[in-house]
Amino acid sequence: MSAAPGNKWNYLIEQALPASVLAGTATLGEITEADYADSDALEAVPYLGSFHASDVVLNFFGALPSNNSRHLMGTLISFVNNLDPNKHDMTDVPTWPQYDSSSKSTMLWSESGADVVADDYREEAIAYLNEIGDSLRI
């Protein structure tokens, strides 16, 4: 993962299971794109991709209020209370669709606003990892 100008970081939650496993289950996908004032310090951290719980720390406990924090907390509270992330009063958040293998619709969380996009980012690489997954077990 690399930082883009303006302290923009992309945190991707890829669809870890093959589409055949997800078929018929209520699954939500998401991609979070956020700007953080102090993210320059993270550029030197040598890791690949987002680290475990980075979304929790950066989206829910940041020093500055953010749209991502408001949107994610609102949909999370809606899900906890209604088992549906879409039962909230936020007019600037589109309906979060259930993931299906044909449309691959997933939510893109961004400081400039939320949107629904196709989850086809690194599709070939993810397919390869799913193919060799059993050989990676220790």
**68-95 pLDDT, tens digit each:** 788 888 998 999 999 999 999 999 999 9
Its pTM surpasses 0.85: no
pLDDT at 106 over 90: no
Q: List the chain domain ranges.
A: 8-136
pLDDT at 135 over 60: yes
pLDDT above 70 as % of the chain: 54
pLDDT of residue 92: 93
Q: Specify the range with the lowest mean pLDDT, choosing from 18-22, 79-83, 93-97, 114-118.
A: 18-22
Distance of alpha carbon 126 from the chain centroid: 15
